Amino acid sequence: MNLQNILNEIEKVDADVFERLDHVSRRHVFHNFLKKAVTGVAPVAFGAILNKAYAQSSTVTDVLNFALTLEYLEAEFYNIGLASPGLITGMEGWNTFQQIAKHENAHVALLKTALGGAAISKPKFDFSAKGAYPDTFSNYKTFMALSQAFEDTGVRAYKGQAANLMSAPDILTVALQIHSVEAMHAAKVRYLGGSRGWIMGAMGMPSAVYAGEDMRVQGGVDVVNLTGLGTEQVTGAFDEPLTKEQVLAIATPFLA
Amino acid sequence: MEKLPKDPTVIPQGFTGKASAALGRRVFLRYLGATAAAGVALNACKSEIAEPLATGSARAGEAIDLGDIGSKDVNVLNYAYALEQLEAAFYTHVVMNPYMGMNGYEKAILMDIRDHEIAHRELFKAALGSAAIPGLTPNFSSINFNSRESVLGTARVFEAVGVSAYNGAGKYITTPDYLVLAGKIVSVEARHTAIISEMLHPQTMSFAGDDIVAAASGLGEARMPEEVLALVRPYVQEIINGKNGGHA
């Protein structure tokens, strides 16, 4: 196996790969590739890393399949939305949802490749959530509200799984890189809907998506008391995690 | 049918992906280029702006060594504390010296962000206790605080670098609670990046633009500490040093 060829292949897929790899030079990347599996950002490299280094770890596989489930849901949601005539209006809406859809589809591809044969198949989704949202793809307000809920949930879901990836530092880094992108999406969709980009208090719909976001104690310290800042500002300064069970409870109504 | 916005921060393809030991410098130049395009007065007077809000207990020119950032959690926390100090000082200055044309909504957003950064800074300071590095003294002489483009362009760089720093350093953290805490903060920094980008380039894809999220993989940036420190060093009067984890 020729490592330099692999690197060149990655570069074809992602021209920025050497900058996005957290190393300062190609030589350094190469060195790390030899030393141990490096954090790949292209699906092929990421897949190879996972299959070689972590295929034995059911914890890591479970986390990635959990993530894949959410990414399947988001990608399909945006793909259908973009294909629904008259739903998304205005240049800002198109720019926003096209960019988000591009990322969610890329996340699906990345995770599927990483998991290889262990990847779960795409579930069937019901974006009406058993009739709770009958106009998801015909009412832009409903679509934006669900987009915000999915993105904020995604941020909380990845955050909740970070500690389960500590044994696999390269996978953890990739998960964090996805996590931060979901947060950018969430902020923009919130802004598009007329809210601030951050979650202040535990307000929002569905309420389960925002449960616990009113936390003012961090690391055992009440940050409102520590700083004298407002409760809204302090709760906005920290995004809270959700457990896998909490996330599945939110997502299950959207499974057909 | 994808349409990319005219975004001065998008790097030409030919500029990336080449082997170079000076990559850190190149990335820095890319950011300088980005902020220059956004109107930052790079040749602003060299004299340092008096910074009334500096909590600085360190002295200008003094070296502050964060050590091997991968070797223990306290070093990662101090690394984060340094970055949060810089951000908090920046937004404090921005809110106290509003750029021309700052409207009420923009001010409210910038005040929120300022408060978030202060909350982060104070939490790290409290958590670190006597292990904390000294308060840093900012050097914002390259920023034109009267200019909306300069301020928001710089803010976007600070936020994006902050996100990439947390993304890159997460794997060094050995205590699960600290990892979760870093996660609670980094997603808020990512939210800031998106909103600052939106203010700078309204209604475009800039909120998660191809210059900060790889289009092919959908991954955000991750940077190692040495690269991050090289990017932020010009904005701090002390000389902050630190090493990537895994150094022999």
* Chain A residue numbers touching B1 (CB-CB < 8 A): 98
- Residue A199 pLDDT > 90: yes
DSSP symbols for B131-200: GSPPPP-B--TT--TT-HHHHHHHHHHHHHHHHHHHHHHGGG--SHHHHHHHHHHHHHHHHHHHHHHHHH
Place of tokens 């005040």: B111
The residues pairing with B213 across neighbouring beta strands, listed in sequence order, are: B220
Task: Classify residue A232 as left (phi > 0), alpha (psi -120 to 50) or beta.
Answer: alpha
Task: Answer with the residue of higher pLDDT: A11 or A214.
Answer: A214
Mutate to test the interface with A, among B69, B173, B187 (most CBs of A within 10 A): B187
Q: Residue B53: how many CB atoms within 10 A of its CB?
A: 11
- pLDDT by residue (tens digit) across B6-47? 333 333 322 222 222 233 333 333 433 333 333 333 333 333
Question: How far is Cα B205 from Cα B34, in angstroms, rounded to an integer?
Answer: 16
The model's pTM is 0.82
CA distance A227 to chain B (A): 7
The two beta strands, B63-68 and B239-243, are parallel
Of A21, A41, A180, the CB nearest to B187: A180
Q: Is B248 on the interface with A (CB under 8 A)?
A: no
Place of tokens 């092919």: B216
| Average pLDDT of the residues in A43-65 | 71
B 184-213 residues with CB below 8 A of A? 184-195, 198, 202-205, 207-209, 213
Of B20, B23, B115, the CB nearest to A237: B115
With a threshold of 0.85, tell me whether the complex ipTM lies above it.
no
- pLDDT by residue (tens digit) across B54-112? 456 788 889 999 999 999 999 999 999 999 999 999 999 999 999 999 999 999 999 99
State residue B86 phi and psi, 5-degree precision: -65, -45
- pLDDT by residue (tens digit) across A87-106? 999 999 999 999 999 999 99
B 120-179 residues with CB below 8 A of A? 120, 122-123, 126-127, 163, 166-168, 170-171, 173-174, 176-177, 179
Backbone Cα Rg of chain A: 19
Task: Answer with the residue of higher pLDDT: A9 or B199.
Answer: B199
Output the CA–CA distances (angstroms, integers) from residue B95 to A38, A227, A230, B89, B106, in the order listed: 42, 18, 17, 10, 10
Question: How far is Cα A74 from Cα A152, in angstroms, rounded to an integer?
Answer: 11
The answer to whether the CB of B206 falls within 8 A of the CB of B200 is: yes
